[in-house]
Amino acid sequence: MTRAAPEPRQTLDPEMVAQWLARHPDFFVGREGLLQQLRVPHPEARGATSLLERLVADLRSRAEQAEWRLEHLLESARHNEAQYRRTRELVLALVEAEDRDALGQALATQCSERFQTPALTLWCPAALTDGEPRPPQPPRQVLDDHVAQRLAALLDGRTSRCTRLTPTDWKRLVPHLPAPDTVGSCALARLTLGEPMGFLVLASPDPDHFRASMDTLFTEYVGDVVARLLARLPAPRHG
C-alpha cells in the first residue's frame, strides 16, 4: 500500500497576513507569550530584537521627535513675540514723530537699534518736499529721476525686494552715509498711498543681512505705515 504524497507546503503571503492583522487588532489579546517570541529588525543595529523592545525604541524615537518639534515651535513663538515687540516699539516711535524729518530720524534710529540695520534712506518726491521751508534732513532725501530709475530697476516691477547693493549703488541710494568697500545688501520698498510717495531703502554693509530669499512682509508693512504718516505729518519748522 502506497502512502499519499504530502501536499506541498503552503506559504502565506506577508501582505495578506498584514491585512488580516490590521482587520483583527485584538488577535494578540490573550496571546502575550507570542508577542515575546516575535523577532523584528533592530532599528539601530544589525540583528533582531523582540517586538516589545522594538516598540519601546519606536516610542522613544517618537517622543524625541515630538520634543524636538515642540522646542522648534516654542523657539518660533519666542522669535515672533520678540519681533512683534520690536515692531510695536518702532511703530509707536513713528506715530510720535512731530514732523517729516523727525519721522525719518525715528525710523533710522529704531531700525538701527532694534533691527540691526545701520543705514536707511527715505526718498521723498519733490512734490512732497518743494513746499517745505528747508531741505529735508537725512535720512530723508529728495527723489530725482536718476535715483527713481535706479530704484525701479532694482525692484524689477515688485513692491519690495531684498538684493545686493554695490558700493556705487550705496553712494547713489544712501548718499548721507559712507559706502562700504565691498558689496552690501538692502531691502527696498515702494511707498504708495493712492499715488507714488517715494521709496524706502534699508541697507547694510553685510552682504547676507538682506538675502534675496527673505520675506519682505516686514519691509512692506513699515513702508505702508511710513507712507501714511508722510502724507499726514506737517513739514519741519524753521529753527
What confidence tens digit (pLDDT) does each residue in 12-63 have? 788 887 888 888 878 777 776 776 676 666 666 566 666 667 677 778 888 8
Residue 52: CB atoms within 10 A of its CB come to 13
Total residues found in the chain within this entry? 239
pLDDT recorded at residue 35: 66
pLDDT recorded at residue 236: 84
Arithmetic mean of pLDDT, 171-197: 96
> Is residue 91 scored above 60 in pLDDT?
yes
Angstrom distance (rounded) from CA 192 to CA 152 = 13
pLDDT recorded at residue 42: 63
Higher model confidence: residue 115 or residue 58? Answer: 115
Arithmetic mean of pLDDT, 125-150: 93
Arithmetic mean of pLDDT, 201-213: 96
Structural contact between residues 129 and 136, judged by C-beta atoms closer than 8 angstroms: yes
Q: Which residue has the cell 556705487?
A: 168
Structural contact between residues 169 and 149, judged by C-beta atoms closer than 8 angstroms: no
> Is residue 133 scored above 70 in pLDDT?
yes
What is the average pLDDT value for the chain, to the nearest integer? 88
Spell out the alpha helix ranges (H) of the chain: 14-23, 32-37, 51-95, 100-115, 126-129, 145-155, 167-173, 217-232
Q: Give the model's confidence band at 2: pLDDT under 50 very low, under 70 low, under 90 confident, else very high.
A: low
Arithmetic mean of pLDDT, 198-216: 95
Percent of the chain past pLDDT 90, that is, above it, reads 59
Angstrom distance (rounded) from CA 179 to CA 48 = 65
Strand partners, 140: 122
pLDDT recorded at residue 95: 96
Arithmetic mean of pLDDT, 72-93: 92
Structural contact between residues 211 and 162, judged by C-beta atoms closer than 8 angstroms: yes
Cell of 201: 531703502
pLDDT recorded at residue 57: 75
Angstrom distance (rounded) from CA 200 to CA 222 = 9
pLDDT recorded at residue 101: 96
pLDDT recorded at residue 16: 86
Contacts of 205 (CB under 8 A, 6+ apart): 118, 119, 180, 182, 184
